[in-house]
Amino acid sequence: MKIGIYLEGSPDMGGGFFQSLKSSLLLFDIKKYNNEIELIITKKKTKEYLLEKKIKNRLFEQNKLSNYFSQLFEINSLNDFLNKIKINHPFYNFIKKNKYDLIIFLGPSQMSKFCKEVGFISNIWDLDHKKNSQFPEHNVNNTYEIKEKLFKEITTRAFKIIVPHKSNKQDLINFYKTPDDKICIQNFIPMLPTIYKENKHDLHKYKEIFLKFKIPEHKKIIFYPAQFWAHKNHKYIIDVAKILKSEKKEKYLFIFCGGNKGNYDYIKELILKNELNNYIKIFNFLSDDEVISLYTNCNAVVMPTFCGPTNLPIYESFFFKKIIFYTKNLIPDDEINNHLIEIDISSPEDLYKKLDICFDNEKVEKITNKNFEYYKSVCNEEDFKINYEKILNEFHYLLDRWKKF
């Protein structure tokens, strides 16, 4: 059974890419299927990145031609015509040429539509386009309609759908009537802890990297690692910083990092307009090691996002033993809430009042030690491999009904 893992995007895309890369590496670790797995990448930048890490891969480049074909196949009448005259999408031809039996999509991908004669598994991280459709990122360039069409295809045709939380599973059932036994829950397992552990012989380098940022030593650093989407709610932190400024409290510094997803200029303009440079610093897209240096040297992590329920920085903060201020009630009915300092994102005063915990070293240590133990239990790599192996075994059993190995 030949399995292709579809790794979409490139390292400059941030958290989602690295989450997918981590999953890829764990899938390669499933001994039973190790020799049958191949990584499919879509960007030359990714190929260069993987060369450094000595990970074998096969390039299916999403170039202008494949994008053009994707647009053509979106038109129903034209799709039918192209199928009739046996013109196929380049990804369909790629699958046939390389004789894949199963494709694992590490995120919702348009390419799943072209898995006509092979099975596929798809990861779906959230349904925020349904639950938070008011944000521009869910509406520009027909994003909502495109996602809806894709998710209906996935929930109808996928062999299995992987989601990171039980509430994601319930959302799929509620919105798309997806059968319960088609959905599997697998918690996020972040990539940064792996990189950090690989460098444990040289951990002082993270301090050296941090010093290059030239951050005042007397500040308590509150780190927000997130791309500049509107739903990430950087504006909330600006409102908190305005309160700190009005109260003449200069002991905190918020640090933003991430790529521009449409909201960067607005956030930067607000910082300048309100003269908050002493309270907020923005760093452009950072390397893995630079992000780790901020995690290891900050005092807390903050994430006032509208979208979830869970997000990678939760688990990264648990691993690096940092308290995290996180949106209240975003994660419904879960033990994880006991490990978060929940904040009311309709009230900047709420975070303002809770920041002082950063000065209570004893309390912080108690919370973060507890969080680290929780991290080890829910971000268990062996459990990940066992869960996926069960899915692959189930597909292999079915495939054996008609294909000889």
User: How far is 46 from 50, CA to CA, in rounded Å?
Assistant: 6
CATH architecture of residue range(s) 192-378: 3-Layer(aba) Sandwich (3.40)
Residue partners of 396: CB distance under 8 A and separation at least 6: 1
User: What is the reported pLDDT for 203?
Assistant: 82
CATH of 3-189+380-399, one of 2.30.40.10, 3.40.50.2000, 3.30.70.2190, 3.30.2130.10: 3.40.50.2000
Confidence band, pLDDT 50/70/90 cuts, at residue 85: confident
User: How far is 352 from 241, CA to CA, in rounded Å?
Assistant: 8
**In the chain, pLDDT over 70 holds for what percent of residues?**
94
Domain parsing of the chain, residue ranges: 3-189+380-399, 192-378
296, 336, 231, 150: CA torsion to nearest 10: 110
Please check whether residue 291 is in contact with residue 225, taking contact to mean a CB–CB distance below 8 angstroms: yes
> Mean pLDDT throughout 28-33?
94
Strand, helix or coil for residue 306? coil
The tokens 């990264």 sit on which residue?
A: 316
Please give, one letter per residue, the 3-state secondary structure of 89-150. CHHHHHHHHHCCCEEEECCCCHHHHHCCCCEEEEECCCCHHHHCCCCHHHCHHHHHHHHHHH
User: What is the reported pLDDT for 19?
Assistant: 81
Q: Quote the strand ranges of 195-313, DSSP E.
A: 220-225, 252-257, 280-283, 300-303
Please give, one letter per residue, the 3-state secondary structure of 185-203. ECCCCCCHHHHHHHCHHHC
Region class of 275: left (phi > 0), else alpha (psi between -120 and 50), else beta: left
User: What is the reported pLDDT for 73?
Assistant: 66
Count of helix runs (H) and strand runs (E) in the chain: 17, 13
Of 340, 14, 10, 385, the C-alpha closest to 192 is: 14
Element (H, E) at 367: helix 361-378
Q: Is the four-CA dihedral 245, 247, 252, 257 of positive or negative sign?
A: negative
> Mean pLDDT throughout 44-66?
81
Is the confidence at residue 29, as pLDDT, over 90? yes
Confidence band, pLDDT 50/70/90 cuts, at residue 333: confident
pLDDT in tens, 107-154: 999 999 999 889 999 999 999 999 999 999 999 888 999 999 999 999
User: What is the reported pLDDT for 154?
Assistant: 97
Is the confidence at residue 187, as pLDDT, over 80? yes
* Residue 210 CB coordination number (10 Å): 19
User: What is the reported pLDDT for 228?
Assistant: 95
Please check whether residue 130 is in contact with residue 175, taking contact to mean a CB–CB distance below 8 angstroms: yes
> Mean pLDDT throughout 21-47?
92
Query: Which one has a higher pLDDT value, 93 or 405?
Result: 93
**Rg (the chain; Cα; Å):** 22
pLDDT in tens, 121-133: 999 999 999 999 9
Query: Which one has a higher pLDDT value, 72 or 248?
Result: 248
SS3 content of the chain, % helix, strand, coil (to 5): 55, 15, 30
Element (H, E) at 41: strand 37-41
Same fold for the domain at 3-189+380-399 and the one at 192-378?
A: yes
User: What is the reported pLDDT for 188?
Assistant: 92
Is the confidence at residue 76, as pLDDT, over 90? no
> Mean pLDDT throughout 367-388?
97
User: What is the reported pLDDT for 80?
Assistant: 65
pLDDT in tens, 260-286: 999 999 999 999 999 999 999 999 878
Is the confidence at residue 352, as pLDDT, over 70? yes
Please check whether residue 326 is in contact with residue 343, taking contact to mean a CB–CB distance below 8 angstroms: yes
Residues facing residue 257 across a β-bridge:
225, 283
Confidence band, pLDDT 50/70/90 cuts, at residue 162: very high
> Mean pLDDT throughout 282-302?
94
User: What is the reported pLDDT for 200?
Assistant: 80
